[in-house]
Amino acid sequence: MPEAGRAAPQPSPGVKLEAKSPFELRVNLGKDVPETDVRAALATGEMGFLHSFTTGATVDGPGVRVVAWTTGCNFRCLYCHNPDTWTMTNGIPVSVARATEELGKYRHGLRVMRGGFTLSGGEPLMQHKFALKLLTAAKGMDIHTALDTNGWYGDRLEDEDLQAIDLVLLDIKSWDPERHRRLTGMDIAPTLQFAERLARKRRPIWLRYVLVPSLTDDLDDIAKLAEFAAGLGTVERVDVLPFHQMGKYKWDRLHLDYQLRNLDPPPQSVVDRVVGVFRAAGLTAY
Ligand code: SF4
């Protein structure tokens, strides 16, 4: 939120909120926003930073989705395919009102197609107040809402806030705490605690698991994760997402050290086996 009496920073002319896909590289779009405004935006949630809006996604929740991709992430996943979303000020500064207006354009179509709105990232809960305002605004337009999160900042949401989120797409990166730390740079415990809290509150979860050869393909670990997920009782579906190289050019363009550049995606037979492990625990998995 800018200082009182000052207009909210706006995207530079020519920068569109809508992108063809999140794989468009976007950097420094909010670099001119003063640090004080960034801090104020985080404190009030009246303004947030978005990488882009994309439409037509079918893998980020039920039906056809409009997805808003936030910038800012507390993880540093070795396989991240959108490292340009790590830095909040790479995103476009957007007021809640402007983002809601953009979303409103799709409300009728989304209802007809039984789709909805997904807030993804980056990690949306880095800007949890903005995230909550936007999800609440979507609910106010009678749009189904989903939050795609690594869950680490789940405790920033109060129990009543969870009512603005119809579905949590919870990304669990690894079961083994040590591997999780190597893979993401962060502890797994807060993510699992958020999963347990969502379950206690009977909130629907879709679990997302990125399958990376040699990093997250240990079947014993996956079986333990599957047992945990099945025990939650509110996991409606598991999506096994094969690692891919579509974000490689971003690592190069950002001059980041991409350790997985020579890694091939997992073969379909391995994907099928992993899906089978989740199914064997009684979960619906794809
Ligand atoms: S949590 Fe998502 S956005 Fe953040 S580093 Fe991992 S893959 Fe990238």
Query: What ranges make up the beta strands (E) of the chain?
Result: 47-57, 65-70, 92-95, 116-120, 144-149, 167-171, 205-211, 235-242
The partner residues of 53 in beta bridges, in order of sequence, read 18, 68
pLDDT of residue 35: 84
Q: pLDDT class for 160, splitting at 50, 70, 90?
A: very high
Q: Over 70: is that where the pLDDT of 6 sits?
A: no
Average pLDDT for the chain:
91
How much distance in Å is there from the Cα of 11 to the middle of ligand 1? 24
Closest ligand 1 atom to residue 122 Cα is: 3
Whether 28 has a pLDDT exceeding 90, the answer reads: no
Atom of ligand 1 nearest to the CA of 85: 3
**For the segment 225-240, what is each residue's pLDDT rounded down to a tens digit?**
999 999 999 999 999 9
Tallying the residues shown for the chain, one arrives at 286
Residue 23 has a pLDDT of 65
Return the residue whose CA atom lies nearest to atom 7 of ligand 1: 80
The per-residue pLDDT for range 104-132, each reduced to its tens digit, is 999 999 988 899 999 999 999 999 999 99
The 3-state DSSP class for residue 228 equals: helix
Given a contact cutoff of 8 angstroms between Cβ atoms, the answer to whether 84 and 250 are in contact is: yes
DSSP state of 255: T
Measured from CB, residues less than 6 Å from any atom of ligand 1 are 73, 75-77, 80, 82, 85, 121-123, 150
**Confidence band, pLDDT 50/70/90 cuts, at residue 15:** low
As a whole number, mean pLDDT of residues 228-257 equals: 96
Q: Is 120 exposed, middle or buried (0-12, 13-18, 19+ CB in 10 A)?
A: buried
Report which residue type is found at 140. G
**Quick check: helix, strand or coil at residue 245?**
coil
What is the residue with the minimal CA distance to atom 1 of ligand 1?
A: 75
Measured distance CA(195)–CA(254) in Å, rounded: 33
Question: Tell me, what amino acid is at 187?
Answer: D
- Would you state the pLDDT for residue 125? 98
Residue nearest to atom 2 of ligand 1 (CA): 122
Q: pLDDT digit string (tens) for 179-203?
A: 999 999 999 999 999 999 999 999 9
Q: Model-level pTM greater than 0.85?
A: yes
> What is the rounded average pLDDT of the residues 41-58?
88
Instruction: Evaluate if residue 12 carries a pLDDT over 70.
Output: no
Q: Which residues pair with 207 in a beta bridge?
A: 170, 238
